Structure 1
Amino acid sequence: MALRINPFKPNNLAPVGMFAGRIDELRLLEGGLNQTKHGEPTNFLITGDRGIGKSSLLLFLDAIAKGDVTGLDGGKFNFIVISLNVSDKMNLLTFMRIVENNVRREIGKTEVARKFLADTWSFVQRLRVMDSGISGSVDEQDEEVILDEFASSLAETCNRIVKPATGESKKDGILFIIDEADNAIPELRLGYFIKTVTEDLQKNGCNNVMFVVTGLPETVEKLKASHESSVRAFHPVKIKELLPPDRKRVVDLGIKKANEINSEKTSVTEDAKEQISSLSEGYPHFIQQFAYCAFKQDTDLIVDSKDVMDSAFAEGGALDSIGNRYYESDFYEKIKSDEYRQVLTIMSKRMNSWIKKAEIRAEFTGPETKLTNALKALTDRRIILKNKERDGEYRLQQRGFALWIQLFGNRK
């Protein structure tokens, strides 16, 4: 068998051509684009677990907003898209500078536009000095003045592209995609930023800016911490696991892509797709990883259940690779106590089913106080979940985490 290009991409975003599922979410976001295009802006807060496909969804939204693809409901758009990833070193002033840099890059394509931006965003030079620390500490009053100028400049810029000058192309508005918002530190004041800017844009007569913020579930609390009512500015969207038909469609799209680029044609059995669907638990990244390893394992141009299983649990295989990216940090870096890891190991025997504290205690070798502290710490870090309906019950979030602990958790 000749060398083949593996079409599955476990460490990359799903390209638009291999995107599956999320129909309801895409229609909701497309509706937001249409509202914003016609002067009724709608903002979204998208939350979900790691590997659930938030960033791939944003990539598809980006393509729809720019007009690279037609929306599911036939919408055709022409937005300027500003995409930002939040880091844990980003304060508010730095964030506004990055936004301004992106605005210049996306809009300042002509000499006329560059002159307009230089005048409109002239205050940014002062912002650079403030953020550098040359002028001393920056208090909240300084930030509020800068934020007011920022919102005014953004409004003027958006109104310019919606009603352009002679010779400039017309746009529908500006879409801000702010990803990994769970990394936000208090100094970023992200909730305060969104709440203030959205209100100031309306005061400045600008109604064609849409914000989409995404992150892990704890993003909600981080936004509230910087401004209690900031989450009211968003329509909440919780991303859940893909349904089995969509999981299998991801595999089919990958095999189709493989057969377009490889001379030798590959097929996949229904049993193999069923196993990939089950093992992945509906997490798109996990589907890609199990499918990637199964495709790599295949030697007869038929990806079957044996290929899936042989490549799934071996050292260096699919589950091990998923663990390296998603589970090792929770098991080793976020917790420094062997007793805490013992709790996880005991819980893994029940996979991701609920287990009572008394049942954990029966196998736990440490003192009661240590067990209580472990359960609280693991819950606070969202490594385990606490049953809201029954006291004293806990479970791991994913079956894959339990399997990884059993197979690789004690590996040095």
Structure 2
Amino acid sequence: MDPLKNPYSPGAGAPPPELVGREPVIEQARILLGRVCQGRAEKSMLLTGLRGVGKTVLLNEIERIALEFDYSTIVVEAHEGKSLGDLLAPQFRKLLFELDRTARMNAAVKRGLAVLRAFIGSIKLTSGEYSIGLDIEPEKGTADSGDMELDLPDLFIVIGEAAKNCGTSIALLIDELQYFDEKELGALIMAMHKLQQKQLPFVLLGAGLPILPRLAGDSKSYAERLFNFPQIGALDREDAAKALQQPAADSGIAFTESALEEVFRLTHGYPYFVQEWGYQCWNSAQTSPIDTDIVETASAVVMPRLDQNFFRVRFDRLKPGEKKLLRAMAELGEGPYRMGDVAETMELKVTSLGPRRASLIKKGMIYSPNYGEIAFTVPMFDDFMRRAMPDLEG
């Protein structure tokens, strides 16, 4: 097939040609956005799931819906080494100046800029206090204590009031939420709690690893009453087949039933992997229909690509002791894994694995689905570990 016409899109956050199996979550987001912009109360949404299930794609689709409702959107991605204040301050600056352009001399917007200036002056931004260029007198006594849990709610309320005064709504979309520390996550939850109490048009739509609901609950006990936590998982057989079939059918190409079944077996229905196999099957095929022999040929290309890119970039960030712990997990087959079993495989005491476990959770490599258990955050990483380290001692 012509590779220039390849319809599949493997990549981090790249929208697939056919967004299937996510209709309930998209409809939930549509209702949330519609109700909030009408001044009605509704829980914000935090999507949770493993790597490669399409959380970022869904956030992008939700942003598109928000724009249809005439929301002002802010999109950020949390990551190690950058604070919540660093991420939000320049985005709020941009938002308030945009509101100021559409509503000249609006007092609520002017106050929002003054409070933002006070907020910036009270915290240490790693990007530099004056780097976002606010030559405005700060408002004293609001969002300027230096305590994020006190200041962020005040800042959100003032910005929410400015948006309401200008006749718009705000959708804050944050990816990789699990990278915020407990205090930052707590401040974010408190800020959304205050906004909901005042029914201001400001909604949070976030995404993170499966550990996110527990982190939110540990930070603030009322988080479960403030947010919905839709779980984004692998596609079932029917939806995985549709994700492969429909883009090809639009170009007059078909998959045999046996080929669809084989791709599902290889990918377990994870959307990122489905796109990878679809992409390579297209490039490997000469004629339609695409059968299992083409899937086999594609697999010989896909697996090295995944090992070198999707898996290896995460593996190479790890310390030797962390790699050994992950290899011990893989030795036990599919997860979740009891910490006691992992320790026994490594011939170590469970207590000695605590620092490695904590470091791997912080790096987003594993999570704890239940007390005393751990599991990979990356689908099929157990298979990769056995390929990367054939021997447990290697």
TM bin, normalised by shorter chain, reads: 0.7 to 0.9
What residue number does 2:201 align with?
208
Residue correspondences, number: 372
Q: Which amino acid aligns with 1:195?
A: M
* 1:104-253 aligned within 5 A: 104=96, 107-110=99-102, 112=104, 117-130=109-122, 131=125, 132=128, 141=146, 143=148, 146-147=151-152, 149-162=154-167, 171=168, 173-186=169-182, 189-200=184-195, 202-203=197-198, 206-224=199-217, 226-253=219-246
Select which of 252, 265, 270 maps to 1:278.
265
- The answer for unaligned runs of 5 or more in structure 1 is 68-76, 163-170, 260-264
Equivalent-residue separation in structure 2 for 1:202 and 1:375 (angstroms): 40
What residue number does 1:404 align with?
384
In structure 2, do the counterparts of structure 1 residues 253 and 201 end up closer, same or farther at CA, with 3 Å as the change threshold? same
What residue number does 2:297 align with?
310
Q: Which amino acid aligns with 1:112?
A: R
Q: Alpha-carbon deviation of 1:4? A: 3.6
What residue number does 2:50 align with?
49
Does residue 1:346 correspond to 2:331, yes or no? yes
In structure 2, do the counterparts of structure 1 residues 270 and 149 end up closer, same or farther at CA, with 3 Å as the change threshold? same
Contact kept in structure 2, 1:241 and 1:283, CA below 8 Å: yes
Q: Alpha-carbon deviation of 1:95? A: 3.6
Does residue 1:85 correspond to 2:77, yes or no? yes
In structure 2, do the counterparts of structure 1 residues 207 and 125 end up closer, same or farther at CA, with 3 Å as the change threshold? closer
Contact kept in structure 2, 1:85 and 1:178, CA below 8 Å: yes
Q: Which amino acid aligns with 1:26?
A: I
> Which string of whole-angstrom CA distances, capped at 9 and with x for unpartnered residues, describes residues 268-291 of structure 1?
222222222222212111111111
Equivalent-residue separation in structure 2 for 1:218 and 1:37 (angstroms): 30
Contact kept in structure 2, 1:191 and 1:224, CA below 8 Å: no
Q: Alpha-carbon deviation of 1:10? A: 0.9
Q: Alpha-carbon deviation of 1:152? A: 3.6
Does residue 1:60 correspond to 2:39, yes or no? no
Contact kept in structure 2, 1:192 and 1:227, CA below 8 Å: no
Q: Alpha-carbon deviation of 1:82? A: 2.1
Cα RMSD for the two superposed structures = 3.9
Equivalent-residue separation in structure 2 for 1:61 and 1:201 (angstroms): 20
Equivalent-residue separation in structure 2 for 1:62 and 1:268 (angstroms): 33
* Structure 1 residue matching 2:104: 3-state secondary structure: helix
* Structure 2 residue matching 1:267: 3-state secondary structure: coil
Identity percentage over the alignment? 19
Q: Alpha-carbon deviation of 1:99? A: 3.5
- TM-score, length of structure 1 as denominator length: 0.74
What residue number does 2:37 align with?
37
In structure 2, do the counterparts of structure 1 residues 191 and 143 end up closer, same or farther at CA, with 3 Å as the change threshold? closer
> Which string of whole-angstrom CA distances, capped at 9 and with x for unpartnered residues, describes residues 91-119 of structure 1?
34324413413424654554727887345
What residue number does 1:369 align with?
348
Q: Which amino acid aligns with 1:28?
A: Q
* Structure 1 residue matching 2:52: 3-state secondary structure: coil
Q: Which moved more, 1:324-333 or 1:44-53?
A: 324-333
